[in-house]
Structure 1
Amino acid sequence: MDAVAQNKTTKENWTNLFDGKSLKGWKAVGGKAPYSVENGAIVGRMTKGTPNSFLITEKEYADFILELEIKLEGDKTNSGVQVRSHIDPQANNGQGRVYGRQVEIDPTSRAWTGGIYDEARRNWLYPLDLNEKAKTAYIAEQYNHVRIESIGNELKTWINDVPVAYVIDTLDASGFIGLQVHSIPADLDGKKVYFKNIKIQTSNLKPKEFPKDIYVVNLTPNTLSSFEQNAGYKLLFDGKTSQNWRSAYHYQFPTKGWEIKDGIIKVLKSDGGESTNGGDIITKEQFSAFDLSFDFKLTEGANSGVKYFVTLKEETKGSAIGLEYQLLDDVKHPDAKMGRDGNRTLASLYDLITSNKDGRARRPIGEWNRGRIVVEKDNTVTYYLNGIKMLSFVRGSKEFRDLVAISKYKDWDKFGEAEKGHILLQDHGDEVSFRSIKIKELK
């Protein structure tokens, strides 16, 4: 293909973004890693002592389908493809800093290739803990076929024809496409990243079918996409009313202690005690096997929790009894240092199992976090925080019962083993906000 063929429409409405011979239509920004053309591929060379480098399109794109092939040398670093991205020209001491959504290329043992990261802005949006089956799609030291659909607010990815990630996001209606060479330690200096067969469609777009069982990260508050609805999800909070909720101690929604405003359901600050103001609220429905997601925002020093399999049979005076996804300011609330080995910290199974301490999963106090609890029909329970797996256990197993026997729940008969129960948002006397509470019952 000669150079003039670049940006000419080919069969099936594809346009080549790379002519196979030159970097026409592209420019290097950010770090100082060099890009060249070798044997029909764009080659980025990892370079010590420089921040992340990008080769970006001179043109910006809105809706598109992009396909390309990528090969990465080694298994100790990563690369990525920026979509609808931008640059802050003053950052990095005037070198500029690229920011925006990135489709990850990850040959390490973590295996998050095809996941979606928000470069220099919001961190991980779709880690592959959310789609474990796709972790084997990437082939080391070979060219991997990448398909990216960016249509409307939806971003979907495939690696070697395996569906990987699905994010719905209202940021960035358009922007450039970029090819990343990551910053590296000195011992990786000279390693290469290869990109070839880069082509794009921008009109008459025909999305590929995406499997209904793949989890969607929907960043639009209190909404369900048609895909999520078809997959069986429903909202437990519509952003406006308390219609799916009631007090844990009577059949009405609390008249004090809780506030619904601006798309948020919030427990108000009182005295830091359990259920001493408005009290806990529970779903009117009960659930057995389910996939529950919720956004939460903690205030400084706050304590709360999301409980499930709440039956109310215990008739407690404080907070109702149930398995709990702990919500806590681990730095400033004393509960973080109680229990055993940190099993009362954020995203732990309260007083039973300590959460994964991966710092990338945690957003600062005052920012929104995404929690998720999945209860399978075989009683396997998994916790996620911002898409990263926090822990897993099996209700009713010997291991689970052994933990209960040495916990604060030891006196409750068959604690956590109810066939079904309510979902609960806890009033622990601290201000905590919730939104985007959605559930899918697992059949």
Structure 2
Amino acid sequence: MNSKLITLLFLLVSVNVFAQRSNSGWVNLYNGKDLSGWKLLGGKATYEAKGDEIIGTTVSNTPNSFLASEKEYGDFILEVELLAHPLMNSGIQFRSLSKSDYQNGRVHGYQMEIDPSARAWSGGVYDEGRRGWLYNLELNPAAKTAYKINDWNKYRIECIGNSIRTWVNGIPVSHLIDDMTAKGFIAMQVHAIPSSEPQGRQIRWRNIRIQTENLKPSAPADIFVVNMVTNDLSALEKKQGYRLLWDGKSTKGWTAANGSAFPAEGWQIQDGILSVQKDIPGEKAKGGDIVTEKEYSAYELKFDFKLTKGANSGLKYFVSNLGGSILGLEYQILDDENHPDAKLGIKGNRTQASLYDILPAQKIPYSLKKVGEWNQGMIRVYPDNKVEHWLNGIKVLEYQRGSADFMENISRSKFKAVQGFGTAAQGKILLQDHGDEVYFRSIKIKELN
């Protein structure tokens, strides 16, 4: 055998060994020939295997369609390339389920969004058939430009334990901590279309591959974390400076608003949830407002809350004793549909997430939850006195403390005669007892410089 042939054989063997090593741990989910290992769920959109691609096509008068893996996956790293029509919506389901005892088999579970629209939420995480948006790109606006319209995009999902993270074209998009579903199928969605929209638009997927063993998570990116696990602080949240303002198990760090000990009655701590109890008609109220022992100035405050029907409460900040009354700016917590206070005030400034009786919050559909569902509230107070109210991942109000507009709105409010209202340099944080049953959990704070 001559030396040239030996060299050629050596190179071929080396290339083959290198290819095997470079693909170590990856398993292809599409065989390049047919749709073996996949099944159609939901609607009647069409899917076909064509060369190295799976092609999904929209069909009129049918609900969301899903080409689902027959196998279920728990912890994994998934990569896929996709090219979607610029006017269609789609997504990749993961850890998803379809069971006869849940809405007649409706597909439900996590979805990594494909959104070529001007909204640009591609890579966000939506909970299909359950809770709706969990992580939208208003929380990470820098990632809105990651998706390329009319071009191939590379999607990556890392699901390891309660951690769910997504990337679009190498850009970190979402970081979600959630423990609702630990295992389920993977599916390629073709979204339902309205009757006014032409059918036949397509999305193409290729290079669909997964790792399930010896998983090595990517280094954490410094982006916003949505944490749905009760009173949990993820490693990244801790690194970013968050801490629990309520520890989830005791009254430590909190007192009655009047400065006495934490109320012996009227508030309940159970299973990691802090709840104010409903007053009994005809009996003396037992609880009362509670406040932090410490005062704060600039911070980001996250809190989960859940309303009962007709309930009214609030979270107040910059709280202090003003003229003998414990007062502060209030993030309104209210059942807008069933409490009369929603119809009072000016232009809706007593509705959910508003600055109570001063400025109204926007009513954005994605931010609204039904009574009995958990909401994620957030208040950002910047060192320059800019303040934001967020509700379920959407900024619904922004204002500047001390500005002419702010002071003018106070002058039209019930606080107009209170000297110094809303202008303190620092103050306590208060949870309101309004005599209605309301639940709180996962109260976290990050102080800002």
Q: TM over 0.5: same fold?
A: yes
Task: Provide the C-alpha distance between the structure 1 equivalents of 2:252 and 2:101, rounded to a whole number of angstroms.
Answer: 49
Check the 8 A contact 1:144/1:159 in 2, yes or no. yes
Report matched runs for 1:41-440 at 5 Å.
41-75=53-87, 77-89=88-100, 96-186=105-195, 187-212=197-222, 214-270=223-279, 277-316=286-325, 320-440=326-446
Task: Provide the C-alpha distance between the structure 1 equivalents of 2:374 and 2:267, rounded to a whole number of angstroms.
Answer: 18
The aligned amino acid for 1:353 is L
Shift of 1:89: 4.3
Indicate the larger mover: 426-435 or 385-394.
Answer: 385-394
**CA shift in 2, pair 1:307/1:392, >3 Å:** same
Shift of 1:188: 3.3
The aligned amino acid for 1:82 is Q
Shift of 1:38: 3.5
RMSD: 2.1
| Secondary structure in structure 2 of the residue aligned to 1:401 | helix
Check the 8 A contact 2:322/2:418 in 1, yes or no. no
The aligned amino acid for 2:125 is I
Task: Provide the C-alpha distance between the structure 1 equivalents of 2:381 and 2:274, rounded to a whole number of angstroms.
Answer: 24
The aligned amino acid for 1:86 is L
The aligned amino acid for 2:65 is S
The aligned amino acid for 1:321 is L
Shift of 1:23: 2.0
Shift of 1:219: 1.4
The aligned amino acid for 1:80 is G
2:32 paired residue among 20, 25, 31:
20
Shift of 1:380: 2.0
| Secondary structure in structure 2 of the residue aligned to 1:59 | strand
| Secondary structure in structure 1 of the residue aligned to 2:98 | strand
Shift of 1:326: 0.3
| Secondary structure in structure 1 of the residue aligned to 2:327 | coil
**CA shift in 2, pair 1:269/1:250, >3 Å:** same
Shift of 1:245: 0.6
Indicate the larger mover: 350-359 or 294-303.
Answer: 350-359
Gap regions ≥5 residues in structure 1? 1-7
Shift of 1:360: 3.0
TM-score w.r.t. the length of structure 1 is 0.92
| Secondary structure in structure 1 of the residue aligned to 2:138 | helix
**CA shift in 2, pair 1:90/1:235, >3 Å:** closer
Task: Provide the C-alpha distance between the structure 2 equivalents of 1:347 and 1:117, rounded to a whole number of angstroms.
Answer: 22
Cα shift readout 1:98-152 (whole Å, capped 9, x = no counterpart): 1111111111222111111111111111122221222222121211111110001
Check the 8 A contact 2:244/2:444 in 1, yes or no. yes
Indicate the larger mover: 290-299 or 394-403.
Answer: 394-403
Shift of 1:388: 2.1
Shift of 1:193: 1.1
Could you tell me which residue of structure 1 aligns to residue 7 of structure 2? none
Task: Provide the C-alpha distance between the structure 1 equivalents of 2:421 and 2:168, rounded to a whole number of angstroms.
Answer: 43
| Secondary structure in structure 2 of the residue aligned to 1:130 | coil
The aligned amino acid for 1:244 is G
Check the 8 A contact 2:92/2:187 in 1, yes or no. yes
Shift of 1:271: 6.7
Task: Provide the C-alpha distance between the structure 2 equivalents of 1:356 and 1:67, rounded to a whole number of angstroms.
Answer: 37
Shift of 1:338: 0.4
1:40 and 2:52 matched: yes
| Secondary structure in structure 1 of the residue aligned to 2:83 | strand
Shift of 1:277: 3.8
Could you tell me which residue of structure 2 aligns to residue 4 of structure 1? none
TM-score w.r.t. the length of structure 2 is 0.90
**CA shift in 2, pair 1:391/1:179, >3 Å:** same
Indicate the larger mover: 375-384 or 168-177.
Answer: 375-384
Task: Provide the C-alpha distance between the structure 2 equivalents of 1:29 and 1:271, rounded to a whole number of angstroms.
Answer: 49
Check the 8 A contact 2:315/2:332 in 1, yes or no. yes
Indicate the larger mover: 255-264 or 80-89.
Answer: 255-264
| Secondary structure in structure 1 of the residue aligned to 2:396 | strand
Task: Provide the C-alpha distance between the structure 2 equivalents of 1:366 and 1:297, rounded to a whole number of angstroms.
Answer: 6
Could you tell me which residue of structure 1 aligns to residue 16 of structure 2? none
Shift of 1:414: 4.1
The aligned amino acid for 2:337 is V
**CA shift in 2, pair 1:204/1:321, >3 Å:** same
Check the 8 A contact 2:322/2:419 in 1, yes or no. no
Task: Provide the C-alpha distance between the structure 1 equivalents of 2:102 and 2:311, rounded to a whole number of angstroms.
Answer: 34
Check the 8 A contact 1:157/1:163 in 2, yes or no. yes
The aligned amino acid for 1:300 is K
**CA shift in 2, pair 1:314/1:202, >3 Å:** farther
Shift of 1:313: 3.5
**CA shift in 2, pair 1:321/1:276, >3 Å:** farther
Cα shift readout 1:393-443 (whole Å, capped 9, x = no counterpart): 222222222222222222233432222111100111111111111111122
Could you tell me which residue of structure 2 aligns to residue 5 of structure 1? none
Shift of 1:20: 3.3
Shift of 1:12: 4.1
Cα shift readout 1:22-51 (whole Å, capped 9, x = no counterpart): 323222211100011345221100111010
| Secondary structure in structure 1 of the residue aligned to 2:310 | coil
| Secondary structure in structure 2 of the residue aligned to 1:279 | coil
**CA shift in 2, pair 1:39/1:407, >3 Å:** farther
Instruction: Answer with 1 or 2: which has the greater Rg.
Output: 2
Q: How many residues align?
A: 428
| Secondary structure in structure 2 of the residue aligned to 1:321 | strand
